[in-house]
C-alpha cells in the first residue's frame, strides 16, 4: 500500500466503531486495533491474542492534541511528544480524570501508555475513528511479533475482522516505553528509539525501571517473542543441526542461515529481526532443526532493544521474571 487505501480505512473505521478488531500497520509492528473506549472490544483483543489479562495495552492517538483527551500531558511529556511524535516512543502518563479509555486497557493501573504512530495507514485509521485505538502487536501472546500482513494472517487469521496490508513495517521492533512522572523519566521497555537518543535530547541519563515483582513494567513474562525452535545466543557459528541468524561478519551459508545486516547496520538489523526469526523458525520446522543459533549483537543504540527481544525469545518457555 503506497498511498493509503481510503476505502479500506473507512471499512476499518466502521469495523472498529462496531466493536471489531482490525490489524493495522504501524512503523514498528502490526497492531491489533480496537476502540480503546469500548470495554467489550478491548476484551476481544485479549481473547484473540490469548493474552494474560494483567498485561496493559498501549493506546494510539494522532498526536499530543488528541492524547490530552485521555491522559495528563505534563510539561516534560509535552516536550518528549513534540520531539519524538509521531514515532516509536510510548509515554506512560497519569490517566486523566473522566478519561473515556476502558479500565481494561490499563489493567487496573492509574496510568495509561500512549503513543502516536508514524505510519500513514495507522494515522488515517485513528483520524477516521476519531478515538484512541488500543493496539498491542497483532500476534498470539508470547510469539514473534508481526512485521508483515502475512505474519498477522498466520498468527491470528480468522480471529480478527480485517487486516490492512501496508507492506513491511519500516522500524520492525516495538516502541520504546518510558514512564514520565514529574521530571523523572524511567525506561520500561527498550525499543525503536535508542536510549542514547532520548538521553541526548534530555541531556541526562534515563534510568531503568527496577524489575518489580508485579507485572507493572512491560513484557514481564520472561519468555516472550518466542519462536518454536530454541535459541542459542552469542554464537559464532552454527553447530550441526542448527539454523543461524548472523550479524555483520559473523555469518553462515546455506538455506537455514540469514543475516540481520551484512554491513552491521543497526537500523537494518532491527527492521529484519522479527521477519528473519519468522523465516528461520519456519525453515527449522521444515528441516527438522531444533535450534536457531544467533550471532552476538553489540549493545549500542538499537542493539539494546534487539538483545532484549532475543533474551526473551531464548528464555525458558512459560517462565516469569
Buried b (16+ CB within 10 A) or exposed e, 279-310: ebbebbeeeebebbbbbebeeebbbbbbbbbb
Residue 184's Cβ-count burial label (10 Å; 0-12, 13-18, 19+) is exposed
- Residues 6 or more apart from 214 whose CB is under 8 A from it? none
Q: Which of 8, 21, 80, 92 binds ligand TXA (CB under 6 A)?
A: 92
Site map (CB under 6 A) of ligand TXA, residues 113-142, x = contact? x---x-----------------xxx-----
111 binds, among Mg ion, ligand TXA, none (CB under 5 to 8 A by kind): ligand TXA
By CB under 5 A, is residue 261 in contact with Mg ion? no
**211 with 125: CB under 8 angstroms?**
no
* Nearest residue (beta carbon) to ligand TXA: 218
Q: Which of 13, 149, 156, 177 binds ligand TXA (CB under 6 A)?
A: 177
**63 with 168: CB under 8 angstroms?**
no
By CB under 5 A, is residue 111 in contact with Mg ion? no
Judged by CB under 5 A, the number of residues near Mg ion is: 1
Separation CA 87–CA 146 (nearest Å) = 18
Binders of ligand TXA in range 48-67 (CB under 6 A) = 55-58
Query: Smallest distance, Å, CB 79 to ligand TXA?
Result: 20
By CB under 6 A, is residue 175 in contact with ligand TXA? yes
Per CB under 6 A, the segment of 198-206, 214-222, 229-237, 308-316 that binds ligand TXA is 214-222
Separation CA 273–CA 191 (nearest Å) = 12
Query: Smallest distance, Å, CB 64 to Mg ion?
Result: 24
Dmax (CA) for the chain in angstroms is 59
Amino acid at each position: 500500500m503506497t498511498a493509503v487505501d481510503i476505502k479500506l480505512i473507512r471499512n476499518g473505521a466502521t469495523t472498529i466503531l462496531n466493536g471489531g478488531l482490525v490489524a493495522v500497520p504501524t512503523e514498528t509492528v502490526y497492531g491489533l486495533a480496537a476502540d480503546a473506549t469500548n470495554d467489550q472490544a478491548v476484551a476481544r483483543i485479549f481473547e484473540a491474542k490469548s493474552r494474560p489479562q494483567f498485561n496493559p495495552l498501549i493506546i494510539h492517538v494522532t498526536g499530543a492534541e488528541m492524547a490530552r483527551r485521555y491522559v495528563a500531558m505534563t510539561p516534560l511529556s509535552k516536550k518528549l511528544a513534540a520531539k519524538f511524535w509521531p514515532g516509536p516512543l510510548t509515554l506512560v502518563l497519569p490517566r486523566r480524570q473522566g478519561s473515556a479509555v476502558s479500565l481494561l486497557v490499563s489493567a487496573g493501573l492509574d496510568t495509561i501508555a500512549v503513543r502516536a504512530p508514524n505510519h500513514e495507514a495507522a494515522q488515517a485509521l485513528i483520524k477516521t475513528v476519531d478515538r484512541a485505538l488500543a493496539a498491542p502487536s497483532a500476534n498470539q501472546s508470547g510469539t514473534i511479533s508481526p512485521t508483515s500482513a502475512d505474519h498477522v494472517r498466520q498468527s491470528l487469521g480468522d480471529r480478527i475482522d480485517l487486516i490492512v496490508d501496508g507492506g513491511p513495517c519500516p522500524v520492525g521492533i516495538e516502541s520504546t516505553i518510558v514512564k514520565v512522572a514529574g521530571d523523572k523519566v524511567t525506561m520500561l521497555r527498550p525499543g525503536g528509539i535508542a536510549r542514547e537518543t532520548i538521553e541526548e535530547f534530555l541531556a541526562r541519563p534515563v534510568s531503568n525501571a527496577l524489575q518489580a515483582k508485579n507485572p507493572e513494567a512491560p513484557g514481564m513474562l520472561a519468555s516472550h517473542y518466542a519462536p518454536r525452535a530454541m535459541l542459542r545466543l552469542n554464537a559464532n557459528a552454527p553447530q550441526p543441526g542448527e539454523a543461524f541468524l548472523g550479524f555483520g561478519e559473523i555469518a553462515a551459508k546455506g538455506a537455514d542461515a540469514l543475516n540481520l545486516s551484512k554491513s552491521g547496520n543497526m537500523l537494518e538489523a532491527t527492521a529484519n529481526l522479527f521477519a528473519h526469526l519468522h523465516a528461520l523458525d519456519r525453515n527449522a520446522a521444515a528441516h527438522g532443526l531444533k535450534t536457531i543459533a544467533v550471532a552476538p549483537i553489540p549493545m549500542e543504540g538499537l542493539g539494546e532493544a534487539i538483545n532484549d527481544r532475543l533474551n526473551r525469545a531464548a528464555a525458558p518457555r512459560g517462565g516469569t521474571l
